Amino acid sequence: MSAERPSAIGQALLAVGDQWTLLILQRAFLLRLRRFADWRDELGMSESVLANRLKEMVAGDLLRPVPYREQGRTRTEYRLTGRAVELWPLLVEIWSWERRWVPRRHGLPELVHDDCGSRTDVELGCASCGRAPVTARDTETVRQAATFAQVTVARLHRRTVRADAPRDPLSYLPETFELLGDRWSTVILAAAFLGLRRFADFQAELGVAPSVLSSRLRAFTELGVLEAEEGARPLYRLTQKGLGFFGIFAFVVDWAQRWYEGPPGSDLRITHRDCGGPFVPYLRCGSCGQPLTRTGVHFVTADRRLPPLAQTG
């Protein structure tokens, strides 16, 4: 039985590696949405898709249903669970990466650090030693066994095509969806952070069909996350943009391995070379250098100030 269980990362990606799920979570954080009609109207989702995602998110312990009374009727609202609340730095890191690397027509919201008052960006740090900034090159990712890639459980639904995504300034995640919204994309990227470079090595490590692997590698090359070094056997290397995705990768790995249990030996271990300790990611303010907290930051858009990322059960 346990041999069939996906790795912690695989389970986490099944839970949150979906465009609509990420957008529902993001709106719960940014706008404190809790009610069906609010997500439906804000995201323009069909009721059946929304109902399906909410059901999955309750089953996956990301949302907790809470009854409330309205006009004499009992209805249900949905609050973030403790597990879901811990996704806040991942969402902020996604914002930071998209802002830096993905050209767009509409401006992104800006992040304000309340303590120093700056409109700022974030820096990735190592919670083991406190140092920041930390980049992919300052760390080493190792696997205990190849089973980290055991994420091949069938998805519950097809992944949503990116063109369907709302295009308002808050729905700022287009390229992240390409990278996180598909289980193979994410494990291929994870394998790249492990140091894999050759087509045959990706294939052997991941057990992925050659056609799937070549389509993903092509997509990553087009996104500018990987670059192919031509030759008889091309090498695929992470570009600066791909290396920049390390923060998102690290927050996914950290969250996954704290909240999900995979088969023995299936975890990834990320080490911070400077301190030799486990790399536990945290975010600090790019302006004042202080660690950020969930309730100590908020976003502002062109026309509104959003509350702190504080919606909790």
Nearer to Zn ion, 203 or 287 (CB): 287
- As a whole number of angstroms, the distance between CA 101 and CA 206 comes to 27
Nearer to Zn ion, 193 or 260 (CB): 193
Nearer to Zn ion, 67 or 276 (CB): 276
Nearer to Zn ion, 113 or 143 (CB): 113
Nearer to Zn ion, 220 or 279 (CB): 279
- As a whole number of angstroms, the distance between CA 41 and CA 38 comes to 5
Q: How far is the CB of 297 from Zn ion (least distance, A)?
A: 9
Burial class, 140, CB count within 10 angstroms (exposed 0-12 / middle 13-18 / buried 19+): middle
Q: How far is the CB of 300 from Zn ion (least distance, A)?
A: 15
Q: How far is the CB of 239 from Zn ion (least distance, A)?
A: 25
Contacts with Zn ion by CB under 5 A lie at: 113, 116, 126, 128-129, 272, 275, 285, 287-288
Q: How far is the CB of 135 from Zn ion (least distance, A)?
A: 12
What region does 158 belong to: left with phi over 0, alpha with psi -120 to 50, or beta? beta
- As a whole number of angstroms, the distance between CA 248 and CA 101 comes to 13
- As a whole number of angstroms, the distance between CA 43 and CA 66 comes to 22
- As a whole number of angstroms, the distance between CA 197 and CA 219 comes to 16
Q: How far is the CB of 132 from Zn ion (least distance, A)?
A: 9
Cα dist from 69 to 38, 39, 77, 97, whole Å: 16, 19, 10, 41
- As a whole number of angstroms, the distance between CA 16 and CA 6 comes to 14
